[in-house]
Structure 1
Amino acid sequence: MTDLQVRKMRFAFADYDVPFVWNEENPAFSSMANAVSFLAIGFEKMIVNMIREAMPRITDRAIAEEADAFVRQEGQHSTAHRQHVNALIRRFSGLQETLNDVIAEFDRLTVHTSLDYRLAYTADLEATFTPVFKLMLDNDSSLFQPGDDRVASLFIWHFVEEVEHRSSALIIFDALVGSDTYRMRMAPSIFRHVMRVIRLACDGFNKHVPLEDRKIDALAMFATHRHKHKLRKWLRLPGVDNGPMLRAFDELPLGEQLVALVGVIRSQLPKHNPDHEKLPALADVWFERYDAGYDVSHWYTAGTRASRQAD
């Protein structure tokens, strides 16, 4: 019996405008997180179709229950990220084109790749989430707390649930495919696709969101783009300047970033077991507060809101 819990969350994105730079202290992280929202919608749509296709092949009841809970959690994430992205589209209508392009990338995977490949894709990508999201959640005071509480609360919820179901995708992959060799062999093409989708989203941000609203060149997260920009400036070549070349994690401790990088590499090795990963302390706090009835949809402001209502 799976111990995953499906939580339906809403973040009041329709109550008032959602800024593109929702954390003004870190516009690069704001942009990167926005790209994650776009990717999540397409990726999680692929997961839903993948599990629907995989279910007839799952003969173990426990694996079937794990797959069902996993896909229902992912469905809730997709719904919430659509609300976030729709709020951005209301302000910057051209981002609908970007969302369509991102979803189309994952739709092509569903149509043109095998179920085994998509299972490997999901297992490989999900395996990276715990070390990456631990880095972010361990630094929530700078990455999330200064920003729009609705957006911050969305990502904190999503990331702690990714930690909660950190083993699910590998459990399903091992039950149906069970080949570390295949998973590792597919990894290069999988992560090329992930980077292509994120780049597609960032290109769309540069195209459809004015610099005064995004504050940075959204492609600055890519080292190749930064190097080309430096070379162009050094050679004094003409070109479009899309804004400052800031990066999301520039202010985070280098040691913590290296630990996360090692964790990502380890996640792709044979016999990787996500249950052995070090977890973010914030995840336990989040689950305890949720179970106690705390308003986790306003993670940083729930106490203030409750006080105002009492007055």
Structure 2
Amino acid sequence: MTDLQVRKMRFGFADYDVPFLWNEDNPAFSCMANAVSFLAVAFEKMIGAMIPEAMPLITDPAVAEEADAFVRQEGQHSMAHRQHVKGLIKSHPALKETLDEVIAAFDDLTANTSLAYRLAYTADLEATFTPVFKLMLDNDDTLFAPGDDRVASLFLWHFVEEVEHRSSALIIYDHVVADPIYRVRVAPAIFKHVMAVVRMAAEGFNKHIAVEERRVDALSTFVTHRYKQEIRRRLPFGTKTDNGPVQNAFAHLPAGQQLRALAGIVRSQMPNHKPAHEKLPALAEEWFDRYDAGYDVTNWYTAAALREADV
């Protein structure tokens, strides 16, 4: 029997304007997280079509139950991120073009790639989430706490539930496809696609949002772009494309933590990888405990401040 819970969350994005620069202390992280919201809407739409296609091939009732809970959790994530993106588009209508482009990139996968490939895509990408999100959740005091509590709380919820269902996509893949080597073999193409979609979102931000508002080049997410821009700025001649200063969203994080996250990403793509064995962020357990206790997790930081004030 699956341990996954389907939690329905509403984050009040319609209550007042959703800022693009939701964490003013870290503009590069704001841009990166916004790109994740765009990616989440499209990726989870693909999952929503993929799991019903896979269900007739699942013969183990336990795997079928896991798949059902997994797709329902992802459906909730998609709806919440749609509300976040809708808020961004309300303030910047031209971003609808970027959202359509990102969704089209995943609709193309649904229409033109095999079920095995999409299951591998999901298993490979989901396998990276625990080490990546552990790095972020272990540093929530600088990455999330200073920002708009609705946006911060959305990502905390999404990331802890990704940790919760960290094994689901691989369980489904192993049951339906049962070929660990294929998953490894297609990984380069999968991550090339993921990075292309993130770049698509970032380029849309640069195109449609004034640098005065975003304050950084939205392509700062990419190490190679930051490096190239720094070189261009030092050259006394040549063509320069300037969408604002570049910034490393994680520059202030301990190098050791970043290296462990990178090692976890590499480990996640090995054919014998078991996500269940991954070290988990402490914040995930705290989040689940507070949710079970009835805490307002949709306002993670402001609810905590109010509770402390009452005490």
**Other-structure match for 2:105:** 105
Distance 1:307 1:276, change over 3 A: closer
**Other-structure match for 2:19:** 19
**Other-structure match for 2:301:** 300
| Structure 1 residues 120-171: Cα deviation after superposition (integer angstroms, max 9, x where no partner) | 0000000000000000000000100011000000000000000000000000
**Other-structure match for 2:63:** 63
The amino acid across from 1:130 in the alignment is T
**Other-structure match for 1:291:** 292
Gaps in structure 1 of 5+ consecutive residues: none
**Other-structure match for 1:116:** 116
Distance 1:4 1:307 in 2: 30
**Other-structure match for 1:250:** 251
After alignment, is 250-259 or 236-245 more displaced?
236-245
Q: Is the CA contact (8 Å cut-off) linking 2:215 and 2:245 kept in structure 1? A: yes
**Pairing of 1:225-264 with structure 2 (within 5 A):** 225-235=225-235, 236-264=237-265
**Pairing of 1:53-202 with structure 2 (within 5 A):** 53-202=53-202
Distance 1:213 1:17 in 2: 14
Distance 1:213 1:190 in 2: 32
Distance 1:130 1:232 in 2: 35
Distance 1:194 1:277 in 2: 23
Distance 2:286 2:89 in 1: 33
Distance 1:307 1:231 in 2: 48
The CA deviation at 1:178 is 1.1
The amino acid across from 1:287 in the alignment is F
Distance 2:43 2:286 in 1: 27
After alignment, is 232-241 or 188-197 more displaced?
232-241
Q: Is the CA contact (8 Å cut-off) linking 2:226 and 2:247 kept in structure 1? A: no
After alignment, is 221-230 or 76-85 more displaced?
221-230
**Other-structure match for 1:2:** 2
Q: Is the CA contact (8 Å cut-off) linking 2:221 and 2:248 kept in structure 1? A: yes
Question: 2:267 is paired with a residue of what secondary structure?
Answer: helix
Identity %: 69
| Structure 1 residues 235-294: Cα deviation after superposition (integer angstroms, max 9, x where no partner) | 322333111110110110010000000000000001100110000000000000000000
The amino acid across from 1:185 in the alignment is R
After alignment, is 73-82 or 297-306 more displaced?
297-306
**Other-structure match for 2:222:** 222
**Other-structure match for 1:39:** 39
Q: What is the aligned length?
A: 309
Distance 1:307 1:278 in 2: 30
Distance 1:306 1:230, change over 3 A: closer
Residue 266 (1) aligns with residue 259 (2): no
After alignment, is 183-192 or 17-26 more displaced?
17-26
Distance 2:234 2:245 in 1: 16
The CA deviation at 1:304 is 4.2
The amino acid across from 1:129 in the alignment is F
Q: Is the CA contact (8 Å cut-off) linking 2:48 and 2:75 kept in structure 1? A: yes
The CA deviation at 1:220 is 1.5
After alignment, is 229-238 or 32-41 more displaced?
229-238
Gaps in structure 2 of 5+ consecutive residues: none
Distance 2:72 2:221 in 1: 31
The amino acid across from 2:14 in the alignment is A
Question: 1:69 is paired with a residue of what secondary structure?
Answer: helix
The CA deviation at 1:213 is 1.0
| Structure 1 residues 74-111: Cα deviation after superposition (integer angstroms, max 9, x where no partner) | 00000000000000001111110000000000000000
Distance 1:109 1:191 in 2: 13
Residue 280 (1) aligns with residue 281 (2): yes
The amino acid across from 1:53 in the alignment is E
What do you get for the CA RMSD once the two structures are aligned? 1.3
